[in-house]
Amino acid sequence: MADNTSLVGKRITLCATGSVAAYRAADICSKLVQAGVTVLPLMTESATAFLHPRTLATLAGQACYASLSEDDGGSTGIVHITRGQETDIILIAPASANTLANLAHGLCSDIVSATCLAATVPVVVSPAMNTQMWEHPATQANVALLMNRGIKFIPTRHGQLACRAVGDGKIAETEDILSFLNALFVAQQDQPLKGKRVLITAGGTREPIDAVRFIGNASSGKMGAALAQAALDFGASVDVICGPGVVPMPAGINRVDVTTTNDLLDASRPIAKTADLVIMAAAPADYRVANQVAGKHKKSDGPPVLELVENPDVLMQIVASRRPEQLIVGFAAEVGDPAPEAIRKCADKGCDFVVGNNIASEHGAFGSETTQLVLCNAQTVVSRFEPSTKTIAAEQLMQLLVSALLERQMLSV
Ligand code: CTP
């Protein structure tokens, strides 16, 4: 069991909403209580079709409200006001598609969404639903909107769902939910990056072939988004340079959108000058097309012969004009054990660390929710991480980088 000591003494409003995974709220409630948390449960009425409020009330040792009509402003005050203002965070687990839609649009016809509308504390959601519902543009638009407003999402898992289909939308493991909350509290308490500037690059770049086609890769920017959230949680001011088509970025960052590797370099230079920590998680295209076609290449002209020229290595360029007290970190996407190549790239590119991941493994493929990182310097492996969600890996990686950064800055004072 992970060390979740930052949960001790916390007060969490746990909300269960209408999903078959509502039964998991009981396990989450029980594990939170065992971790030393005071859990104040709430449920939507539709969640009560899957789980009795008495279960959460008994496990939490606190009243569980499941309807606004029970919220009579009695001895504990108006529940949908106090729960979102007098606890440390609100956790919605499971969060149904309907609840995400309510939250996105400010609807408050049930006690969970009313509590969120009145909340002043952070809201964390752990969605659970059928794959089609999760991937529907309406749900994804709601997720993007809520992330932009600062609501934190615990990634869903891929697996067999209640409807027996296999896909995304499965609620996170209880252990991952607890680790997520613990990391959030650690970051909130310490804020070790307060006053520091962090630059992150995310996603792939695209090199045009003609007006409609490009050379690109499948990088989703999920790792960059998770790193941005971790840096924000640690109190940093965060700039993220995003390639096209990346996943939504967390609220509170300064976002710059770019298309090509040269654009990425141009956008990185001025920000890197003043950044304390630079993390190049992007997958920039190594080559661009020298003989780009103006307009659209026509099939009748036969297969195009592309003349490729090498792009600048953004990381090496940033390292070339570094300040000594900066920490500069690259990524290496490899097939097989990434450590040897991560060590070599770190030495060749002159950065402080390279984080390797195996894109051929089930944890680490472009676009996947999970990853298994290995942090290397120019000589050796510094740390091998267990497979985990990108969110948790980002928090763990950020903790190591923060220590290295603070040590470096102390030495260079
Ligand atoms: N990188 C960069 N500019 C490039 C290519 C890569 O800044 N033109 C950075 C990436 O952001 C990453 C690191 O270099 O931090 C390693 O990227 P990767 O694609 O793994 O390495 P390459 O140097 O391109 O080597 P190869 O493709 O041969 O593995």
pLDDT score at 1: 47
- In the numeric block, the tokens 């960052």 are attached to 253
Burial class (CB in 10 A: 0-12, 13-18, 19+), 386: exposed
Pair of tokens at residue 150: 């600062």
User: Within this chain, do residues 169 and 197 fall inside the same structural domain, yes or no?
Assistant: no
Out of 169, 186, 203, a domain closes at 186
- Pairing between strand 381-384 and 373-376? antiparallel
Pocket of ligand 1 (CB under 6 A): 261, 280, 282-284, 286, 311, 313-315, 330-333, 345
Of residues 268, 343, 274, 363, the one with CA closest to residue 313: 268
Pocket test for ligand 1, best of 313, 352, 359 (most atoms within 8 A of CB): 313
| pLDDT 10s digits, 208-256 | 999 999 999 999 999 999 999 999 999 999 999 999 999 888 888 999 9
Residue at which a domain ends, from 186, 218, 246: 186
Q: Which of 31, 18, 26 is nearest to 128 (CA)?
A: 18
Residue position matching structure tokens 């099939």: 299
Compute the distance from residue 313 Cα to the ligand 1 centre, in Å. Answer: 7
pLDDT of residue 367: 78
Predicted local confidence at residue 158, as pLDDT: 86
Q: What is the pLDDT of residue 265?
A: 98
Domain count along the chain = 2
Residues 232 and 328 in one domain: yes
Q: Tell me which of 15, 108, 163, 346 is the catalytic residue.
A: 163
Same domain, 104 and 198: no
Both ends of the chain: CA-CA distance in Å? 39
Structural domain of residue 127, as residue ranges? 5-186
CA distance 34 to 51: 20
d(CA 111, ligand 1 centre) in Å: 49
Active site residue 163: yes
Domain end (from 160, 186, 212): 186
Work out whether strand 277-280 and strand 327-334 pair parallel, antiparallel, or are unpaired.
parallel
Answer whether residue 141 is part of any domain.
yes
Residue 369 lies in a domain: yes
Give distance in angstroms: CA of 283 to centre of ligand 1.
6
| pLDDT score, position 274 | 96
Residue 399: strand, helix, or coil: helix
Q: What is the predicted pLDDT for the residue at 319?
A: 98
Low-confidence ranges of the chain (pLDDT < 70): 1-2, 411-413
Residue 298 lies in a domain: no
113 and 214, same domain (yes or no): no
d(CA 71, CA 74): 8
pTM of the model: 0.79
What pLDDT is stored for residue 162 in this prediction?
85
Q: How far is the CA of 69 from the centre of ligand 1 (A)?
A: 58
